């Protein structure tokens, strides 16, 4: 009975950890950051964003900002009305809490209109089904080995528990 109870607790812990492991942090623009004349739609094209992931916008404070807008304001680079205010820290972390389309623009000058500082992404619901292997980028090269090591350690613990 105690062994069965321990197994159930371990499996519940595994499910919770698997969900948290699958969350990813995306540095918008990778090494280029949030800057002028970068093709953010091309950057986002091969990425799979899911609920629980985070976006990180890196830029020089005062030079840019991040504004969450709706689809119409995104198309026209219109900075009003804002959905969640203006972010100005230079390292803005945005958790993706809900599924659906998300739109972000820079509201400084004509950075959105003339210099392509805009990003639209589709956020998928969180599932337990693994996403396809991501394309190799600078940020994923660092994250993948630690995740695999953690998963191997978890499964090793399960094997030892059941033995």
Give dist(CA 143, CA 92) in Å, integer: 20
Beta-carbon-side half-sphere exposure of residue 20 (alpha carbons within 13 Å): 7
- Reading the block at residue 146, the tokens are 């630690």
pLDDT at position 146 is 46
- Reading the block at residue 96, the tokens are 């993706």
pLDDT at 132 over 80: no
Beta-ladder partners of 64:
61
pLDDT at position 80 is 73
* Mean pLDDT of the region 36-63: 97
24 compared with 19, residue with greater pLDDT = 24
Q: What is the mean pLDDT of the chain?
A: 79
3-class secondary structure, 96: coil
pLDDT at position 83 is 65
pTM over 0.85: no
pLDDT at 134 over 90: no
State the angle between helix axes of 138-162 and 2-22 in degrees (0 to 180), rounded to the nearest 10.
180
* Mean pLDDT of the region 106-124: 97
pLDDT at 7 over 80: no
Q: How far is CA 90 from CA 8, 33, 71, 136, 143, in A?
A: 44, 10, 24, 26, 23
pLDDT at 82 over 80: no
Strands 86-87 and 25-27: unpaired
pLDDT at 61 over 70: yes
- pLDDT band at 142, cuts 50/70/90? very low
Q: What percent of the chain lies above the pLDDT cut of 70? A: 63
- pLDDT band at 1, cuts 50/70/90? low
pLDDT at 44 over 60: yes
pLDDT at position 139 is 46
* Mean pLDDT of the region 73-97: 89
Give dist(CA 157, CA 150) in Å, integer: 11
Give dist(CA 155, CA 157) in Å, integer: 5
């Amino acid at each position: 009975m105690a062994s069965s109870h321990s197994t159930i607790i371990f499996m519940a812990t595994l499910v919770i950890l698997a969900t948290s492991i699958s969350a990813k942090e995306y540095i918008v623009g990778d090494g280029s950051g949030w800057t002028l004349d970068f093709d953010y739609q091309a950057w986002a094209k091969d990425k799979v964003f899911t609920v629980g992931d985070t976006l990180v916008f890196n830029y020089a404070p005062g030079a840019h900002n991040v504004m969450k807008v709706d689809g119409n304001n995104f198309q026209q680079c219109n900075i009003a009305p804002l959905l969640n205010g203006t972010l100005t820290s230079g390292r803005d972390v945005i958790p993706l809490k809900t599924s659906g389309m998300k739109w972000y623009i820079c509201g400084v000058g004509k950075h959105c209109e003339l210099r392509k500082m805009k990003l639209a992404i589709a956020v998928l619901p969180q599932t337990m089904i693994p996403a396809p292997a991501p394309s190799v980028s600078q940020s994923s090269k660092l994250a993948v080995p630690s995740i695999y090591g953690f998963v191997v350690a978890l499964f090793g613990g399960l094997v030892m528990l059941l033995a």
